[in-house]
Amino acid sequence: MTDVIDPTASPSGGSPDPADPAPKPHPSAEEVQAAYADPKLANVLYHDWEAGTYDEKWSISYDERCISYAVEVFRAVAGEEPEPYETAMELGSGTGFFLLNLMQGGVIKKGSVTDLSPGMVQAALRNAAHLGLDVDGRVADAERIPYDDDTFDLVVGHAVLHHIPDVRKAFAEVLRVLKPGGRFVFCGEPTKIGDWYARRLGRLTWFVTTNVTRLGPLRQWRKPQRELDESSRAAALEAVVDLHTFDPSELERWAREAGAQGVRAVTDEFSAALLGWPIRTFEAAVPPEKLTPGWRWFAYRSWQRLIALDRTVLSKVLPRSVFYNVMITGTKPVG
């Protein structure tokens, strides 16, 4: 497989400049075509492309709303810890959503962001600087993490494992850079069944929205065709970078085989995913000025209520494999 970046780049030599605001050009048709044969190239192209608008697209913020969510999902799988983790790394950090909100929530003191995409590392470091958080960053391949053995007390990730070609190798690397007794927590990964219904709901919503908004007075809800075409190109590339869906038991087995102990997978979001994916797709298909604060508040509150239903009722009667998200934790053995 072709190496498309230097995964050993350090913050002082070769990693992205967090102050550089220059937008990344969208990949050419030739680059997109090449990416179909190279998942790592696809990940770099797609995430560099999305870096500037990623937070808006996924309704990511660094306020109480997302701080509470990040801490809540972390605790749901890792449990309560008496003290904050001194050092933590986020693998596949994107714009820093998980690490930065966990730091603001008091879970982590000092953080490091890593991602295969230079554009995403830049975005995460800019977000950290804006929030006044103690964070460094490196461009990094999850299968060859550029940190020494026994470096971190905690490794976290959100929606990253399904982008990594060799997940078992990534688990081994995570355990290598953890200190003995250190913990990993990965959240936001798609289950096999959850991905099946989420993608179909998304495609149906996109089809209905982009066709209904061709009609008369509803045209004001239609994005320019150029933007719709661009979104379709990005979606095609997104399908290339989404390499895996997971069975919770299989994911637990892979972590144990890599040497982890105390491995535990938890699933979340069933009714919330059935609502969330159509809402997210609808929001991507219409002009952003049409999405009023009232709409966003309705979407967020509705999702919150369904999350509560999933956790308090449906998780007790449905098999864990039907939920959309799987979260996993484990620790590095001591000695």
For residue 64, being part of any structural domain is answered with yes
Instruction: Please report, as a single letter, which amino acid is at residue 112.
Output: S
Q: Which two tokens stand for residue 118?
A: 């230079």
Residue 224 lies in a domain: no
Point out the least confidently predicted range of 27-36, 45-54, 230-239.
27-36
What pLDDT, on a 0 to 100 scale, did the predictor assign at position 5?
29
Find the CATH number of the domain harbouring 319. 3.40.50.150
State the pLDDT confidence band at 52, using cuts at 50, 70 and 90. confident
The percentage of residues in the chain with a pLDDT greater than 90, rounded to a whole number, is 71
Judge whether 38 lies within some domain.
yes
Per the prediction, the chain carries an average pLDDT of: 88
Residue 4 lies in a domain: no
How many domains is the chain partitioned into structurally? 1
The answer to whether residue 23 is domain-embedded is no
pLDDT of residue 102: 97
Residue 24 lies in a domain: no
Indicate whether 272 belongs to any domain: yes
pTM, entire model? 0.86
Radius of gyration of the chain (CA): 20
Asked if 43 and 241 count as a contact pair (C-beta separation under 8 A), the reply is yes
Q: How far apart are CA 247 and CA 262, in angstroms?
A: 18
- Distance from C-alpha of 245 to C-alpha of 239, rounded to nearest angstrom: 12
Among 8-17, 88-97, 174-183, the minimum mean pLDDT is found in 8-17
Q: How confident is the model at residue 29 (pLDDT cuts 50, 70, 90)?
A: low
State residue 174's pLDDT score.
98
Note down the domain range covering 161.
Answer: 29-196+231-331
**Once rounded to an integer, what is the mean pLDDT over residues 276-285?**
92
Average pLDDT over residues 195-199: 96
Q: How far apart are CA 186 and CA 98, in angstroms?
A: 10
Residue 204 in any domain: the answer is no
Please determine, for residue 134, whether its predicted confidence score (pLDDT) is greater than 80.
yes
Cβ(145)–Cβ(91) under 8 Å? yes
- pLDDT of the residue at 41: 82
Higher pLDDT, 335 or 283: 283
